[in-house]
Chains A and B, each alone.
Chain A
Amino acid sequence: MNSKYQKVAYYPGCALEGTAHAYSQSTKVVGKALGLQLEEVKDWNCCGAMEAKNVDPKVQTYLSSRVMSIAAHEMKHDVVMAPCNGCYHNLKKAEHELAHDAPAREVVERISKKAGHPAYRAGQVETIHALDWIKHGVGEDELKKRVKNSLKGLKVANYYGCMYTRPRHIFPEKDRGPGSESIAQPHFMDDLLAAAGAENVDFPLKTACCGGAHTLSDSDTSTKLVLNILRAAEAAGADVIATECPTCHSGLEMHQVRAEKVLGVKTGVKMLYFTQLLGIALGVSARKLGIHENVSDGMAALEKLG
């Protein structure tokens, strides 16, 4: 267990305040049940997502750096946890750029000075994902001890999406041998859910594109990409697709509905955040985990647990 992860700065990001509110809620509840502490980053801002990056990538670097600056300087934290793949990706990317790109450092220092806060410097905090937080902050052995309602009998396809491990150069801690996350075959979610009793199925599209970036410009392609993921999960025997990214999760849910309406293809697999599944295993009520907020009827899949 990594004691650094016992109390971390929490950066929810925009999605977890909106469509993925249940992901935020279940992350907090599960953390509490496992004895981990979160302190939300004060006055946090958007990580820059895709929008700011398209205007100027260095503005995105600054926006992400401000979040890390507040965590490091104002809150005196050395770890920032971001459950959203987009936020996690952008903070890691900013970290990499500030370590390797002098012009990016100059822009961040200039805007930070103008905004009236200390500029963030590479290495002042470590950015982790919610998966790292639970995997290294608690670990499978401790998690197993705390399981009250085993997920035994539930077949799960773990879907990580494409931003959790790419591009590989911004994740220097991955692919570092035993105990580290794999770029090509991520397994942290598989490990945690297996510890909670779930049966993970072989799912070859676990890091495939969900079409999130095409959702507005080419909805049909997004729907077909999602439909393919849903069908592959069903063909693998999954009852549930476990997710760890709000964009992927809402994409899978919305395009499952759209596939039925537009393409006339119905799929039955359900989507749940991995934190919701862990919460169920830890004996937390479905309501506290926000399962009723999901579009996909997760309770239907959980009925087989009794």
Chain B
Amino acid sequence: MREELLAQAEAVLEEWLKARGEAPTAETVEGFRLLALHRQGARGVPSFNACRETCREIAYHYNLLGEKREARTESMMQMLVEHLRLFVRGKLEVAGLGEFCCASRPLRQEIETHG
């Protein structure tokens, strides 16, 4: 289960990187490719750091599940992966977000440019 969830989280970040025209890294940070993918994905996009702790919590819950398999920990890890998916989906939908957590700049620019 934990392997599957970690792979799903990595796949989410891969989508973000591919959408930006980058090849997702195969490297790891602190033993996790997920954290390396996040670091790569946040390069030049400071607002992407809003999911940094979510990625670190996913890694933490992965480790917890390696120690002891608990339904509650699994469920929490599922929710963390879901949060990452929703966050990245939002970022993808409004590509070219403002410098910090603001979705309206590209929309405003589009209105100003095209009326």
**B32 near A: Cβ within 8 Å?**
no
For the residues of B in contact with A, the DSSP-based class is: helix
Interface residues of A in 220-250 (CB under 8 A from B): 221, 224-225, 228-229, 231-232, 235-236
CB-defined contacts of A299 to chain B, threshold 8 Å? none
List the B residue with the shortest CB-CB distance to A212. Answer: B101
Interface size on B, residues (CB 8 A): 35
**With known contacts A209-B50, A235-B76, A236-B76, A50–B102 Cβ distance under 8 A:** yes
**A163 near B: Cβ within 8 Å?**
yes
**B93 near A: Cβ within 8 Å?**
yes
**B39 near A: Cβ within 8 Å?**
no
**B79 near A: Cβ within 8 Å?**
yes
CB-defined contacts of A231 to chain B, threshold 8 Å? 79
CB-defined contacts of A213 to chain B, threshold 8 Å? 97, 101-104
- Once the chains bind, are B100 and A211 in contact (CB under 8 Å)? no
The 8 Å CB contact of B87, one of A204, A209, A217, A236, is: A209
Would you give the shortest CB distance from A179 to chain B, in whole angstroms? Answer: 21
State which of B2-10, B12-20, B55-63 sits at the interface with chain A.
B55-63
Contact with A along B33-74 (1 / 0, CB 8 A): 000000000000010011111101100110000000000100
**A33 near B: Cβ within 8 Å?**
no
**A292 near B: Cβ within 8 Å?**
no
- Once the chains bind, are B102 and A54 in contact (CB under 8 Å)? yes
CB-defined contacts of B61 to chain A, threshold 8 Å? 204
CB-defined contacts of B98 to chain A, threshold 8 Å? 50, 53-54
- Once the chains bind, are B79 and A232 in contact (CB under 8 Å)? yes
**A167 near B: Cβ within 8 Å?**
yes
- Once the chains bind, are A204 and B103 in contact (CB under 8 Å)? no
- Once the chains bind, are A217 and B79 in contact (CB under 8 Å)? no
**B108 near A: Cβ within 8 Å?**
yes
**With known contacts A54-B102, A213-B102, A205–B75 Cβ distance under 8 A:** no
**B90 near A: Cβ within 8 Å?**
yes
Bound state CA distance, A75 and B76, in angstroms? 48
**A57 near B: Cβ within 8 Å?**
yes
Bound state CA distance, A53 and B101, in angstroms? 11
Residue of A213, A218, A231, A236 contacting most chain B CB atoms (<10 Å): A213
Bound state CA distance, A205 and B97, in angstroms? 22
Would you give the shortest CB distance from A72 to chain B, in whole angstroms? Answer: 25
CB-defined contacts of A185 to chain B, threshold 8 Å? 53
Interface residues of B in 84-115 (CB under 8 A from A): 86-87, 89-90, 93-94, 97-105, 107-108
- Once the chains bind, are B101 and A217 in contact (CB under 8 Å)? no
- Once the chains bind, are A166 and B79 in contact (CB under 8 Å)? no
**With known contacts A50-B102, A53-B98, A205-B79, A221–B89 Cβ distance under 8 A:** yes
**With known contacts A54-B98, A184-B53, A218–B103 Cβ distance under 8 A:** yes
- Once the chains bind, are B90 and A211 in contact (CB under 8 Å)? yes
CB-defined contacts of A204 to chain B, threshold 8 Å? 54, 57, 60-61, 76, 80
Known A163-B101, A208-B83; 20 more pairs at CB < 8 Å: A50-B102, A53-B102, A54-B105, A162-B50, A205-B54, A205-B83, A209-B50, A209-B51, A211-B90, A213-B102, A213-B104, A217-B103, A218-B94, A221-B86, A225-B83, A225-B87, A228-B79, A228-B83, A232-B76, A235-B76
Task: Identify the 7 closest CB pairs spanning chains A and B, nearest first.
Answer: A204-B57, A162-B50, A213-B103, A54-B105, A221-B90, A50-B102, A232-B79
Pairs across A and B, CB under 8 Å, 20 listed: A50-B98, A162-B50, A163-B101, A166-B49, A167-B49, A204-B57, A204-B60, A204-B80, A205-B54, A205-B57, A205-B80, A205-B83, A208-B87, A213-B102, A217-B94, A217-B107, A218-B93, A221-B90, A225-B90, A232-B83
